[in-house]
A and B are shown apart, each in its own frame.
Chain A
Amino acid sequence: MLRTEGLNKSFGSLTVTRDVNLTLDRGQRHALIGPNGAGKTTLFNLLTGELKPDRGKVFFGSRDITRDTPDARARAGIARSFQRNNLFDGLTVRENLLTAITLSSGIGHVFWRALGKYSRLYDRAESLAQLVGVTDQLDAPVKSLSYGLERQLEIGLALALDPVVLLLDEPTAGMSPDETANMTTMLNGLPDDLTLLIIEHDMDVLFDIANQVTVLDYGTVLFQGTPDEVRQSEDVRGRYFGAAS
């Protein structure tokens, strides 16, 4: 579904992505883990086009999308959430969701008809709000939301695109245990054919959701396998689960 070939990226003399080959099969729930600064977010940015690789390629299906812009990739079905909440401050929750839905319904260019006339978009906004748990806040300005709710809306914006591939950058970071549990349930309830790549530090969440794990360290793929294999790997334990936790 989504595949990289020999991906490399450096910032100055710092190589943040080194010969990364990653394959996401359709419907796979793939977790990306690794210590802070390992290059996980950078890899996301390479997959979504926010950054261009120095070397290597990104394929979506059979198509080479290495040179495609972030918006073209999003329209093709690759959606992402951000590590730091990245919302439309100054708009309400509903307006945030509508913005994303407007784009995914392909009516963004319509300038001759009021948005208010597309009632199905409003219905969709409400069902999304329900899915990510922000129904009570639909008309609240984003700025008034708690951190956890902002986080949920952040995921809601990505889901609004009806993506084929969904990339989530630390979706549960900073959430309360309750919110984390809700998020995990919600993610497990996503359609089976959705391909998910998730950066996650919470091992419980990870083992609950993922069926494949890639461990990144200093920009290199250290290990790849099932969650059980990762748990048993001495190498990963030493580097990642060791002193850090």
Chain B
Amino acid sequence: MMSRETWRAGTAILLLVAALVSWVRADYFGHELLTQIAILAIFAMSLDLLAGFTGMISLGHAAFYGLGAYATAAFNLMLEWSPWAAMAGAVVVGAVAALIVGSFAVRLSGVFFIMVTLAVGEALHAYLFKSRAFGGDDGLSGIARPDTSSIGISFDDPAVFSLVCVGFACLIYALLELVVRSPFGRLLVAIHLNPSRVRALGCPVSRYKLAAFTLAGAIAALAGSLTAQHNAFISPELLTWTTSGEALIVVIVGGLGSLVGAAAGAGVMVLAMHHLSGVTDYWMFFMGLFFVGVVLFAGNGIYGVIDAVRRRLGGAAH
């Protein structure tokens, strides 16, 4: 039977081909959608590292996404850093914030972890909603994209920016795939399955969970930074718990613990939203129905179905 890893990589390549084909065929709106999908894929994959692999269901992951967006705006607009520097700075801010939040949150498990991440996210949202410096509930606008006129292309061109975002999504996928295949990544899965046993085998469980939480926070901040540049605008809405909840839905629809599933889930989510919202005002209702259907019937989401094909092909070898 083909190994789980090979199958996953194959699926990822197919997904990338689909993205590139859509890129070639896309009009202006097509590029907008592709950009949204790529950014949501980055955000969802970072959450999958937590929820799918390590078993940490966070309902406050949008806090790091939003922080990345706000940090990008602050560095770019207030400190007048270049867009690249602002992006790098945003990733550092996301990592540091996740390190701080994680240092107490990772010790909790189950519903307590969910509640603390939710509370932190809501607190940050409430702060930014009131904060004058960051534009309160109006947010801030005018965030710049990197200036690459020297090499003859413009990031302000939607076709260029969508390709850049797809490129970032590929990079993040490759990075996270490396992590989950590494000894460290295998231990994250073991922590998920049986924390007390890995501890008895010598694993400093909290430290490993904190490392994963920090990495996920940094990547979420990168997604936030790209969103800020994409929209040239940020608002506290980026940090609401519904943003976290949507990302969690994307990961579950895509298939927990598969990375590429989260990316595929992002595609399904953005396209479904786009098409359904054009047809009916009750699109959220239908999305909800779809979600319930996936959870009830598809086992482990989209990737669960894809992996079932692999096992079917492998025959009764098991």
Contact = CB atoms under 8 A, between A and B. Distances in A.
A74 B179 contact: no
B108 to A, nearest CB: 17
B178 to A, nearest CB: 7
A103 B208 CA distance: 12
A157 interface: yes
A70 B201 CA distance: 8
B291 to A, nearest CB: 24
A103 B198 contact: yes
Interface of B: 5, 178-179, 181-187, 189-190, 193-194, 196-205, 208, 211, 318
30 contacts: A50-B196, A69-B204, A70-B199, A71-B199, A71-B200, A79-B201, A80-B200, A86-B197, A86-B200, A87-B197, A88-B197, A95-B186, A98-B186, A107-B183, A108-B184, A108-B187, A108-B203, A110-B182, A111-B211, A112-B178, A113-B182, A113-B183, A114-B178, A115-B181, A115-B182, A116-B5, A116-B181, A141-B318, A157-B197, A161-B201
Interface in A161-176: 161
B126 to A, nearest CB: 35
B296 to A, nearest CB: 21
Nearest to B185: A111
A28 interface: no
Given A88-B193, A89-B193, A111-B179, A74 B185 contact: no
B182 A111 contact: yes
Closest A-B pairs by Cβ, 8 of them:
A74-B202, A111-B184, A75-B202, A114-B181, A103-B202, A111-B182, A88-B193, A99-B190
Contact of A111 (B178, B201, B202, B203): B178
A102 B199 CA distance: 13
Contacts of B183: 102, 107-111, 113, 115, 118
A90 interface: yes
Contact of A161 (B179, B181, B196, B202): B202
A91 interface: yes
Interface string A177-218: 000000000000000000000000000000000000000000
Contact of A103 (B185, B187, B196): B187
Interface in A48-79: 48, 50, 69-72, 74-75, 79
